[in-house]
Amino acid sequence: MDGATLISLNVGRAEPHWTLRGQPVSTGIYKRPAEGPVMARKLNLDGDEQADRRVHGGLLKAIYAYPSEHYGFWEPRLADVELGWGGFGENLTTAGLSEAEVRIGDEFRVGGARLRVTQPRYPCFKLATKMRRREFPLQFLDSGRTGFYLSVVVEGVIAAGDRIERVDRPEGDGVSVLDLVRLATGASEDRELIRRALDVPGLPNFWREQILDRHRS
């Protein structure tokens, strides 16, 4: 995790891009690299929007990060889809971070902002529509290459090229972003990991329920 860097900073307005049952569907999933530094605020980045804050955005999903290393995995599988930085709807395209290393509750300094990891991404139909593959959300989850959401602990200006420095980590063993995904999909049945995950302070109810439903016995 040493030497982690913000490769690209991406924003996009919520606009209607598709129709569903004859009605326009707005989405902010189409992100483009910002032209310069951007202020990270409690609910989002300046110049960025989420169309439905019941499932995107808000205090726990203010910013979405995705490792640049995953693009090489997806590009041959999505050969007909345009995938520039921001192609997965991410705000932060990173280098040097991975879901296996990043833990829930980790805090990072990026430029003048301080950000806390809150949860993996659980994909919805909008990602499937963008990728033109109905089955893509399941493939996305099963791959473990989900990226992760961040809350903004301290607002500040960030820019492409900024270092990403971990400045705090909760005590104890904790759970990684990948741990949560594997538990929620049933890829892991590790009872000790389940216990640790359910003990994570502030674990969003959605993920708690996913784990309990998957492993109820």
User: CATH number of the domain that 130 lies in?
Assistant: 2.40.33.20
Instruction: Please indicate, yes or no, if residue 215 is contained in any of the structural domains.
Output: no
Q: What is the pLDDT of residue 26?
A: 78
Alpha-carbon gap, residue 141 to 182, rounded angstroms: 9
Instruction: Please indicate, yes or no, if residue 28 is contained in any of the structural domains.
Output: yes
Instruction: Please indicate, yes or no, if residue 174 is contained in any of the structural domains.
Output: no
Q: Which tens digits make up the pLDDT trace of 102-157?
A: 999 999 999 999 999 999 999 988 899 999 999 999 999 999 999 999 999 999 99
Instruction: Say which range, 44-58, 133-147, 192-206, has the weakest mean pLDDT.
Output: 44-58
Instruction: Please indicate, yes or no, if residue 159 is contained in any of the structural domains.
Output: yes
Q: What is the pLDDT of residue 155?
A: 98
Instruction: Please indicate, yes or no, if residue 189 is contained in any of the structural domains.
Output: no
> By residue range, what is the domain housing residue 92?
5-169
How is the chain split among helix, strand and coil, in percent rounded to 5?
25, 30, 45
Instruction: Please indicate, yes or no, if residue 46 is contained in any of the structural domains.
Output: yes
Q: What is the pLDDT of residue 21?
A: 73
Instruction: Please indicate, yes or no, if residue 185 is contained in any of the structural domains.
Output: no
Cα dihedral sign, 28-30-34-37: positive
Q: Which tens digits make up the pLDDT trace of 177-192?
A: 999 999 999 999 999 9
Alpha-carbon gap, residue 142 to 66, rounded angstroms: 16
Task: Report the domain count for the chain.
Answer: 1
pTM of the model: 0.94
| Antiparallel, parallel or unpaired: β 92-95 and 63-67 | parallel
Instruction: Please indicate, yes or no, if residue 198 is contained in any of the structural domains.
Output: no
Q: What is the pLDDT of residue 131?
A: 93
Q: What angle do CA 93, 211, 192 make, to 5 degrees?
A: 100
Helix, coil or strand: residue 49: coil
